[in-house]
């Protein structure tokens, strides 16, 4: 029995090794990169020339599905971008597509448009890029191919303008036809992309998120559009894109309200709230995390004391209420940006917006808004990276199998110098000694034959959480109470309404490292009650928001990450506004760095 199992296993290893090594060449079964130059002019070296008359055929492996609906046109660039093809029929569901036969897998698609006013890119029946602007605009996106063919076209951004394509580059990323972990952005002109995407004077905060995100862990798909409202985003195809691809482990940042309040969109606040709720529920049903974001105010929203406040704008209160009702995370960018604008003053705030425009940030302003958003999300313990590569999973497909064994063998024999993902060198070190050698190879073999069920590096690799009750902490200028229900334990802490009150927990950490600190709180007022968080006398966050929970009997969590010392640590939460802090139920401490 064991002999048969070993024979089957070794046959699988030989087969998968052969397949893994036979990936050279440019053909329909082993495509690694295609580069297409569109139009009737000269073809750039290294590219495949494609005219509007090039019809798809299985023998060719690429071409237009309906060449009669295509047209060769000139473009204002040079070389590759001196010509293009124009799509005369379009729409996300149009069959007037450029088709390329591809092995199933994950691909990166880079598109270069010809002359354009505003155009979008669609593939596989949904939008992929929204509203590219300017001649020869360039952008890229990831797409999983599961049916052996890419079907792509350039379609409407602005009605009545030409939709053209100059060049297309297709690169295979992985055999696994699943997108990388993704942060999706839905919103309006304050969040969307502008072009050229790397140098545009105007920018949306979604365009600048990459400055503050681990792009090795997440890709960012900005589906926001200028002039869009919540109803249009949901009903006109943009939300459809997100629903097609979003999965557990992904995030969706949803921000609307500015255009929804405009009379032309005919959306009441109650209607706005229910449209947003619909998108929240559909996203949650996909197993992903949705984060509601309130829009920032106008650059001119300063009072006579130079305090910036725009809390009454853009249906903000409905967004806050929806986050509470659906128990989803919220970034109150409205309040966060006002606090930041107040700190820098009116003149500096104006310099972060487009000239003569109180609503739209410039590139510097969008960068600051992106920073505020990411910092607040990370304080809530979100945008988490994978804590550790899965030991033994060398190709990153989520499984440990004969393919991983073959990769390990090839690496040790010098056939390959790296794994499909460079970080998988960590996953190959199965005994955790810092080396990849015959000992790791033997462990992999034992695991696949069932002799062991985990690797030495995985032993003890579990989260440990400890709850520290507020009633057991040191409370300065506050009391222990049991008046408002819903708390855990024997009570909660009610701090005095002043800036001298604080609560301090004594926390014992088994090992120095990064920990999640989760504060359970209630705030029955309508205003934020921010607190300063200190660890061992050092300020971790100068102002951590504890937003309204609606009533004092409704409890919510806010989470941050902080480094703790081995042994005893003092964690203090101090009131920083005259109304004091929220009621605090407990502090939960969870190791991020494994013990």
Q: Which residues are catalytic?
A: 189, 357, 360
CA-closest candidate to residue 167, choices 31, 35, 45:
35
Q: At what angle do helices 402-413 and 438-448 cross, to 10 degrees?
A: 160
Cβ pair 201, 140 in contact under 8 A = no
What is the distance between the alpha carbons of residues 198 and 496, in angstroms, rounded to a whole number?
49
What is the distance between the alpha carbons of residues 512 and 312, in angstroms, rounded to a whole number?
44
CA-closest candidate to residue 277, choices 327, 241, 224, 313:
327
Contacts for 235 with CB less than 8 Å, ≥ 6 apart: none
H or E element: which one contains 270? helix 269-285
What is the distance between the alpha carbons of residues 371 and 366, in angstroms, rounded to a whole number?
9
**Residue corresponding to tokens 């709180």:** 521
Question: In degrees rounded to 5, what are phi and psi of residue 479?
Answer: -135, 160
Helices (H) and strands (E) in the chain, counts: 11, 29
Cβ pair 495, 580 in contact under 8 A = yes
CA-closest candidate to residue 133, choices 208, 206, 197, 75:
197
Cβ pair 332, 338 in contact under 8 A = no
The beta strand positions in 249-359, using DSSP E, are 251-254, 289-293, 330-331
Query: Per residue in 123-148, is it b (16+ CB within 10 Å) or e — as a string?
Result: bbebbbbbbbbebbbbbbbbbbbeee
The CB density around residue 361, as the number of other CB atoms within 10 Å, is 26
CA-closest candidate to residue 420, choices 146, 168, 150, 106:
106
Per-residue H/E/C for 502-526:
EEEEEEEECCCEEEEEEEEEECCCC
Cβ pair 510, 589 in contact under 8 A = no
CA-closest candidate to residue 252, choices 193, 184, 331, 190:
184
The burial of 28, by beta-carbon neighbours within 10 Å (0-12 exposed, 13-18 middle, 19 or more buried), is given as middle
Contacts for 387 with CB less than 8 Å, ≥ 6 apart: 592, 594
Could you tell me the two tokens for 84? 């293009």
Contacts of residues 260-265 at CB distance under 8 Å and 24 or more positions apart, as own/partner, are 260/229, 260/230, 260/231, 260/314, 260/315, 261/313, 261/314, 261/315, 262/229, 265/229, 265/231, 265/232
What is the distance between the alpha carbons of residues 66 and 73, in angstroms, rounded to a whole number?
17
Rounded alpha-carbon distances, angstroms, from residue 264 to 177, 254, 260: 42, 21, 9
């Amino acid at each position: 029995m064991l002999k048969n199992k070993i024979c089957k296993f070794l046959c699988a290893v030989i087969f998968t090794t052969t397949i893994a090594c036979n990936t050279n060449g440019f053909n329909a079964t082993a495509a690694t990169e295609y580069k297409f130059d569109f139009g009737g002019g000269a073809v750039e070296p290294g590219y495949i020339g494609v005219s509007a008359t090039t019809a798809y055929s299985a023998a060719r492996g690429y071409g237009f599905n309906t060449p009669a609906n295509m047209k060769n046109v000139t473009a204002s660039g040079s070389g590759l971008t001196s010509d293009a093809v124009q799509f005369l029929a379009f729409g996300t569901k149009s069959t007037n597509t450029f088709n390329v036969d591809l092995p199933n897998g994950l691909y990166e698609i880079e598109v270069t448009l010809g002359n354009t006013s505003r155009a979008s890119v669609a593939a596989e029946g949904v939008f992929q890029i929204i509203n590219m602007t300017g001649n020869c605009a360039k952008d890229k996106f990831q797409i999983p191919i599961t049916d052996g063919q890419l079907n792509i076209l350039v379609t409407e951004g602005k009605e009545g303008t030409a939709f053209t394509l100059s060049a297309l580059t297709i690169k295979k990323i992985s055999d696994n036809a699943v997108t990388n972990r993704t942060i999706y952005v839905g919103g309006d002109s304050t969040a969307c992309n502008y072009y050229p995407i790397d140098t545009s004077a105007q920018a949306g905060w979604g365009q600048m998120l990459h400055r503050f995100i681990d792009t090795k862990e997440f890709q960012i798909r900005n589906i926001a559009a200028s002039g869009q409202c919540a109803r249009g985003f949901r009903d006109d195809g943009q939300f459809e894109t997100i629903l097609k691809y979003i999965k557990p482990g992904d995030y969706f940042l949803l921000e609307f309200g500015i255009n929804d309040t405009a009379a032309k969109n005919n959306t009441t606040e109650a209607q706005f709230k229910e449209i947003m709720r619909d998108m929240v529920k559909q996203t949650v049903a996909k197993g992903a995390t949705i984060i509601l974001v309130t829009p920032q105010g106008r650059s001119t929203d300063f009072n006579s004391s130079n305090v910036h406040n725009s809390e009454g704008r853009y249906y903000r209160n409905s967004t806050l209420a929806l986050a509470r009702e659906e128990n989803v995370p919220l970034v109150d960018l409205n309040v966060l940006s006002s606090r930041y604008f107040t700190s820098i003053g009116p003149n500096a705030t104006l310099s972060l917006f487009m000239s003569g425009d109180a609503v739209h940030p410039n590139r510097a302003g969008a960068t600051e808004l992106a920073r505020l958003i990411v910092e607040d999300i990370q304080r809530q313990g979100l945008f988490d990276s994978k804590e550790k590569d899965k030991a033994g999973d060398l190709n990153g497909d989520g499984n440990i199998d004969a393919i991983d064994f073959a990769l390990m063998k090839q690496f040790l024999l010098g056939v390959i110098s790296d794994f499909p993902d460079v970080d998988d060198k960590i996953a190959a070190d199965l005994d955790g000694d810092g080396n990849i050698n015959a000992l790791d190879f033997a462990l992999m073999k034992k695991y696949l034959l069932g002799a062991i069920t985990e690797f030495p590096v995985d032993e003890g690799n579990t989260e440990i959480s400890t709850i520290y009750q507020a009633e057991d902490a040191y409370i300065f200028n506050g009391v222990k109470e049991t008046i408002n229900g819903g708390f855990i334990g024997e009570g909660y802490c009610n701090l005095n309404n002043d800036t001298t009150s604080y609560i301090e927990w004594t926390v014992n950490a088994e090992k120095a490292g990064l920990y999640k600190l989760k504060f359970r709180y209630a705030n029955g007022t309508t205003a934020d009650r921010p607190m300063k968080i200190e660890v061992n006398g050092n300020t971790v966050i100068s102002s951590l928001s504890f937003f309204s929970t609606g009533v004092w009997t409704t409890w919510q969590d806010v989470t941050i990450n902080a480094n703790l010392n081995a042994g005893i640590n003092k964690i203090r939460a101090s009131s920083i506004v005259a109304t004091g802090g929220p009621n605090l139920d407990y502090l939960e401490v969870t190791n991020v760095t494994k013990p």
